[in-house]
Amino acid sequence: MLSDLSGWAIAAVTVLGVLSVASGIAVFVVDSMARATFALLGSFLAVAGVLLALDLVYLAVVTALMMTIEMAIMVVFMLMFMMNPAGLMPMTMVHNARGSAVLGAGAFVVLVLGIWLIDWPTRDVSRPPDSTRQLGEAIMGSHMLVMLLIGIALFATILAGTVLATARGRYDRFGSGLDAQQPADPVPGGLPR
């Protein structure tokens, strides 16, 4: 695959690959959830750039859109539920640091050995004229209803997260704060007289 690329595409894949790995490492090095979230977003956007340089436009756009929305939702939930403001206070991002470092290094060695030692198959058939369209039809053809429902569910999640993140309550229109006089609930079965 890399032999089919032009010089600028190889340079882009190299630079964006290094940026993706560096951002991925930053996820575990920074000391707050918000910074880790944005580092993870940077890593995924660099991966989308690699896909774009490999002429996989559909996958690049889907990766960029999905990861951007996912990280935005994560930030909203951090604002809502974290004890420190927006996850910006220093905290450790790694649990069982020694064990996770050993497992991570072992997985890295296995993957690198797999890349260099496995005899990868060569492509027997020619590349289709429009691989993006073919991929889109393969993914969406029989799953169009599922993809539409997932889109609606994601949109509902974004709306629900935004609504839950606001500080307004049931009686905010009558005053501000907890000391405000709250009106009595209506009489069951009809309006109060």
Residue ranges of domains in the chain? 2-97
Distance of CA 68 to the CA centre of its chain: 6
Residues 16, 41: Cα–Cα separation, whole Å: 13
Q: So what's the pLDDT on residue 23?
A: 94
pLDDT band at 6 (very low <50, low <70, confident <90, very high): confident
Write down the pTM of the prediction.
Answer: 0.55
Is residue 37 within 8 A of residue 78, CB to CB? The reply is: yes
Residues 52, 35: Cα–Cα separation, whole Å: 26
Q: Which residue, 89, 85, 99, 47, is CA-closest to 68?
A: 47
Percent of the chain with pLDDT over 90: 19
Instruction: Note the pLDDT tens digit of each residue in 85-131.
Output: 656 677 666 678 789 889 989 999 999 999 899 887 777 777 778 77
Q: Which carries the bigger pLDDT value, residue 79 or residue 186?
A: 79
Q: Which residue, 67, 73, 18, 58, is CA-closest to 40?
A: 67
Residues 87, 95: Cα–Cα separation, whole Å: 17
Is residue 88 within 8 A of residue 177, CB to CB? The reply is: no
3-state secondary structure the chain: CHHHCCHHHHHHHHHHHHHHHHHHHHHHHCCCHHHHHHHHHHHHHHHHHHHHHCCCHHHHHHHHHHHHHHHHHHHHHHHHHCCCHHHCCCCCCCCCHHHHHHHHHHHHHHHHHHHHHCCCCCCCCCCCCCHHHHHHHHHHCCCHHHHHHHHHHHHHHHHHHHHHHCCCCCCHHHCCCCCCCCCCCCCCCCCCC
Tokens of 108: 């890295």
Q: Which residue, 59, 35, 38, is CA-closest to 48?
A: 59
Instruction: Note the pLDDT tens digit of each residue in 38-54.
Output: 899 999 999 999 999 88
